[in-house]
């Protein structure tokens, strides 16, 4: 009797242990499956971000460029109106409030202040010129380096922009510029026509920041070179040949 009882007790213990083992194993597999699912979801999200980032980056650039171009046109159109027309428009605006034409904006806490529009017909380029070469500005257009001359002022006006991997975007085709080519910059007051006189490749520390003759109006365009490696800087310099009041 005792032997039978012990055998039954042993079997019950084995069944209990087996049941607990199966439950623990099932729980471990379930948790492992949930973790793997989470990892898979994270990898999918990362993959989507990597895939869509270039598109989002271009969309961001396009939006801000078009916004600046449109506000620039509106501002110039307001300046072209006669006093009577200007008063009439001002009255209409007062009666029906609209968004003010403001050529400055804010993004990520940084001021976006347009200074002009840079155009190079030879490489089919038209981008805004913004005050400062910070991250936000360089995602939109060319940035005016600090401590360099303002557009149209005596001295060296240094503008920098990304070389970009995309053909025709920003200064991607700047290497196609040759001596004698034209560069146009339009500000709120004037249109400046520059003619290229120098094109060099230098190390980053050798970028010409100061004009040899401070009485001259010199424009310097700077971008990375070569594409992707960016060990040097491509520098294109031009002097103003003509300026016209808008």
What is the pLDDT at residue 25? 72
Please give the backbone phi and psi of residue 228, each rounded to the nearest 5 degrees, phi first: 80, -40
What is the pLDDT at residue 70? 87
When mean pLDDT is compared across 102-106, 151-155, 198-202, the lowest value belongs to 102-106
pLDDT band at 218; cut points 50, 70, 90: very high
What is the pLDDT at residue 225? 94
Higher-scoring residue by pLDDT: 92, 5? 5
Task: Summarize pLDDT for 84-140 with one digit per residue, the tens.
Answer: 554 544 444 334 433 334 455 554 455 788 999 999 999 999 999 999 999 889 999
| 162: Cα separation from own chain's centroid | 8
Cα distance between residue 143 and residue 159, in whole Å: 5
What is the pLDDT at residue 244? 86
Say if CB 202 and CB 235 are below 8 A apart. Answer: yes
* CB contact set of 219 (below 8 Å; sequence gap of 6+): 157, 159, 183, 185, 192, 194, 237, 238, 239, 240
237: which strand partners? 198, 220
Higher-scoring residue by pLDDT: 42, 70? 70
pTM confidence score:
0.70
Across 145-229, the runs of DSSP E, i.e. the strands, are: 155-160, 182-186, 190-202, 217-225
């Amino acid at each position: 009797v005792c032997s039978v009882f012990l055998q039954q007790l042993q079997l019950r213990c084995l069944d209990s242990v087996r049941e607990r083992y199966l439950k623990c194993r099932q729980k471990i597999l379930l948790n492992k499956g949930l973790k793997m699912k989470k990892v898979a979801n994270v990898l999918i999200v990362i993959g989507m971000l990597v895939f869509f980032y270039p598109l989002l980056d271009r969309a961001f650039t396009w939006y801000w460029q078009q916004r600046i171009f449109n506000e620039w046109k509106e501002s110039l159109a307001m300046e072209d109106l006669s006093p009577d027309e200007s008063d009439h428009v001002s009255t209409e605006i007062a009666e029906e409030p609209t968004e003010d034409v403001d050529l400055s904006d804010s993004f990520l806490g940084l001021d976006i202040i347009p200074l002009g529009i840079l155009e190079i017909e030879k490489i089919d380029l038209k981008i805004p010129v913004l005050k400062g070469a910070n991250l936000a500005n360089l995602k939109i257009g060319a940035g005016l380096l600090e401590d360099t001359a303002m557009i149209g002022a005596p001295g060296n006006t240094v503008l920098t922009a990304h070389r970009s991997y995309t053909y025709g975007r920003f200064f991607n085709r700047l290497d196609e510029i040759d001596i004698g080519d034209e560069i146009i910059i339009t500000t709120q007051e004037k249109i400046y026509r520059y003619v290229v006189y120098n094109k060099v490749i230098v190390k980053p520390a050798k970028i010409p920041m100061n004009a040899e003759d401070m009485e001259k109006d010199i424009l310097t365009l700077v971008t990375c070179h070569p594409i992707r490696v960016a060990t040097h800087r491509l520098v294109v310099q031009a002097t103003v040949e003509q300026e016209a009041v808008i």
